[in-house]
Structure 1
Amino acid sequence: MAELCVNQIRSFRLRNHHLDAVYKSTDMEMLAGACGMLNTPPGVWETAMYNRAPECGLADMEQHLYGDKTLLQAWSLRGVPALFPVPLSPVFLSALVPVGDEPWIYTHGMAGAMDFLKMDSNTLLETLKQVMTRLDDTTIVSKVTLDKTLAEWMLPLLPADKRDLWNQPSMYGSPDKQTVGGAVVSFLLRPCAFSGLVVFGKRSGISPTFTSYKNWTGQMLKADENASKQLVRSYLHCYGPSNVDGFVNWLGCSGKQGRRLWNMVSEEMEPVTLAGKKSFILSDDREMLFSPPSFDREIILLGGHDPYLDQRDRAVLQPDPTLQKQIWRLVANPGAVVYRGEVAGIWTSKKKGKGMEIQMKLWKEIHRRQGLLELAEEYAGFRQQKLAGIDLQ
């Protein structure tokens, strides 16, 4: 098996995440379609898009998402909100639908509610699907209202002896705001999203809105027999070399579902090694991966939840386990100072008056420090603020 070096992998992944060059606003669909752009916490996709196409302003992004509707936001990978081109909806939605006894992504946490109700989750999902069609001509503002409204719509369809339990305070999160029924709906919205029954609409102030795929795009979500294969190819193209465990972890699915999807394209893969460990690449990517590393964009200030940072083998990005803990936290990941594909430091920003203060902490010497100052000023401008100060450590 061919042996790779870490710089070859970094260069390969930067290129396929479209961080190797500066792209244009007309490339937004291609950029979002590489592997989807997760949007949690809300707004991180904007920073990710900006880092690939700096000429894209917030108004340009809103136009693509809300005006032209070339991009779509829906619950997707790992059950979290993601943006992707509308034509790739089957890849980032319907390909996630399980087969046979494979469990749905994200729904394992609802076991407590099922035990309380003494009901089957599949039965409740089918009941929810019956009322979801009302979103075809309705838009609901806020996630709390969506859960509550759908739970109310389901209530008359439930067995009479379950309705009182359905309306009891939730055993999750905020029992003062959510019922058991609302909690069940919240979990099952992910399977509904994968079926095209619910997507995000245009934000209303600070609140998200929700409607159906049909209502938002003007068409039903169509099945595509190639979508499952394309999902695996997208993963390997952006995160290869990798293995099935990395794919399962990235997708947030069961091992059984992940292995089924992975095996669909196994004939298109070949093994390679890194530091003696075996992993796989797409055979079509071999020439690109084994070409000499190239880092034309040496320094990038990535947002804390950029798709490039969503690599399962974190040692490729930063080999020091202690420093890894500073990059990937349980909450509120900082931004990453990426130098030639390696995370060489972290950065954070905060508003101060009418401006933005940025703090950077570097772990290795970067010769072009002036470039960091320029990138910080440009990012503040993208967020429509002035750079009030920068602390470079």
Structure 2
Amino acid sequence: MMLDVDREQVLAHRIAAQGLHRDIADPGGLAVFDLGVQSTQRDTAAIALAARLPGPVTEESFVEDPRFVLAWTHRGAPHFHRADEIGRVTAALVPLDEDDAMARMGWQRKQVEAAGMSAVDGLFTAARAIRKVVTRVMTKGAVSEAVTKIIPDGLSYWCRGCQATHILEQLMRLAAIHGGVRLEAGAQPTALAPLAGRPRMRTTPDIEAATAVVRDYLHLHGPATPKEAADFVGTKTAIAKRMWPEDLTPVRFAGREVWLSSGDVAALENPPAPDLARLLPPWDPFLQSRDRAVLVPDRARQKEVWKILGNPGALLAGGEVAGVWRTKGSGRKRLDFAITAFDPLPPATRTAAEEEAERVARARGFADLRVSWG
């Protein structure tokens, strides 16, 4: 008989799988690094770790840790990965075929289609150019300028704001890792540099590596469907089905059949109670689940958590996304928090959230803070 689970079980399971109970002391042991921790804004990755590690976290201690490397990976977004796994990550990002490559181009598919070459050829043409150009730490602008001079015209565009011609943005983001290039952690403005050891470029699809990404997604965000896994990868559902692991168990959730790794069934059946409060940064791994209606059922509240521009952080309390938060720094002395709860919270939860604000302030290098509630 198929296991039937409810929303509370699913959320509690994900909270535990993602290390939000703070039961792991070493950042390298956090399962969220199996997929990578997105770092779209400064400090977001450090705050994500502060929500998961029992000890203190600072941005400097994290970005300078040689065990981690920052690179454009899933969907072209910057993620921190374990340095010794970057080869596996790169292999998983080789498109399985032309449909997969074009799907990953996302918002710039039309420009790639108009370039007069296949998406696969465009990807690896750009990767070879990036590999040739980036031999030292260079700003993103300098890399773009140099690469644009040696790639076919169709892979670049005229930027009205910069009054210059640039390589297509998404193409550059997808190609950099195949060119053996990482991002310089903590650099402002964005800078690129060669990966340690400069691994050779791989152009042959690796179905096992691609399948491992889907398996990791199902462990951290399951139970889930092929469409949700495809949305995380940045490809089509039909492509994700080709990456679908074999060792999965179907369960019934909200009237539909969804899947998770067979080894996670017992954890889903009886997850620990999520009696905790955490301040999650924008793009925190927990918020990366593609079934947003499960995390936040109310549509109006979804729009408060996931905005087109300028996402806030999320207040996680008692297993629910219970509100949002933003900060404003006063020089480097004080960090002001504005926390908005969706519904009235018990005093103990508010106190716990304010204690989390202290951890966030320390992670960002502020000695003082002030919290206001909306």
TM-score tier (shorter): 0.7 to 0.9
- Give 1:248-287 correspondences, 5 Å limit: 248-262=230-244, 265=245, 267-287=246-266
Match of 2:308, SS?
A: coil
1:56/1:245 CA distance change after superposition, 3 Å: same
Match of 1:289 among 268, 273, 277: 268
Letter of the 2:209 partner, please give it. Answer: A
Partner of 2:90: 93
Quick check: 1:144 aligned with 2:126? no
Aligned residue type for 1:211: A
Match in the other structure for 1:237: 219
Compare 120-129 and 342-351 and name the one that shifted more: 120-129
Give how far 1:349 is off: 0.8
Q: Which has the higher helix share?
A: 1
**CA distance in structure 1 between the aligned counterparts of 2:14 and 2:278, rounded to whole angstroms:** 14
**Structure 2 portions without partners, runs of 5+:** none
Whether contact under 8 Å (2:131, 2:181) holds in the other structure is no
SS in 1 for 2:149: helix
Q: Which amino acid aligns with 1:48?
A: A
TM-score, normalised via structure 2 length: 0.87
1:50 aligned partner: 50
**C-alpha contact 1:13 1:308 (8 A) present in aligned 2:** yes
Q: Offset of 1:151 from its aligned partner?
A: 1.2
Paired amino acid for 2:82: P
Give me the whole-angstrom Cα distance separating, in 1, the residues matched to 2:219 and 2:155.
45
Is 1:38 the equivalent of 2:19?
no
Contact 1:36 1:83 in 2 (8 A): yes
- Matched AA of 2:90: L
CA distance in 2, matches of 1:74, 1:240: 25
Go from structure 1 to structure 2 and tell me whether the alpha carbon gap of 1:46 and 1:116 turns closer, same or farther (over 3 Å shift): same
SS in structure 1 at match of 2:71: strand
Specify the alignment match of 1:176 in structure 2.
Answer: 162
TM-score normalised to structure 1 length: 0.83
Shift of 1:122: 4.6
Q: Rg larger in 1 or in 2?
A: 1
RMSD: 2.7
* Partner amino acid, structure 2, of 1:269: L
| Most deviating of 287-296 and 125-134 | 125-134
- Aligned in 2, Cα 1:20/1:207: closer, same or farther, shift over 3 Å? same
Structure 1, residues 188-211: CA drift from partner, whole Å, max 9, x if none?
32442352532113544x222212
Q: CA deviation at 1:62?
A: 2.4
The alignment partner of 2:51 has SS state of: helix
Deviations 1:323-375 (A, max 9, x none): 11111111111111111221011111111343111111112333212222222
Contact 2:72/2:176, CA 8 A, preserved across alignment? yes
Moved more, 108-117 or 322-331: 108-117
Indicate the residue corresponding to 1:153 in structure 2.
150
The structural deviation recorded for 1:183 is 2.9
Query: SS at 1:176's partner residue?
Result: coil
Instruction: State yes or no: 1:344 paired with 2:322.
Output: yes
Partner residue in 2 for 1:80: 77
Give the counterpart letter for 1:198 in structure 2.
Answer: V
Q: Which deviates further from its counterpart, 118-127 or 326-335?
A: 118-127
Tell me how far 1:236 sits from its aligned partner. Answer: 0.4
Paired with 1:343 and 1:238, the residues of 2 have a C-alpha distance of: 17
Instruction: Give SS of 2:14's match.
Output: helix
Q: Which residue of 2 aligns with 1:107?
A: 105
1:51 deviates by 1.2
In structure 2, C-alpha distance between the alignment counterparts of 1:122 and 1:175, rounded to whole Å? 29
One-letter amino acid of the counterpart of residue 313, structure 2: G
**CA deviation after TM superposition for structure 1 residue 149, in Å:** 1.0
Q: Distance in 1 between matches of 2:119 and 2:210?
A: 24
Partner letter of residue 232 of structure 2?
W
- Once the two structures are TM-superposed, the CA of residue 279 in structure 1 deviates from its matched residue by 0.9
| Unmatched 5+ stretches in structure 1 | none
> Which 10-residue stretch deviates more, 87-96 or 271-280?
87-96
1:326 partnered with 2:304 = yes
The aligned residue for residue 316 of structure 1 is 294
Aligned residues: 366
* Secondary structure of 2:99's aligned partner: coil
Q: Distance in 1 between matches of 2:134 and 2:29?
A: 25
CA contact (8 A) 2:252 2:258 kept: yes
Change (3 A) 1:321 1:132: closer
User: Alignment identity in percent?
Assistant: 23
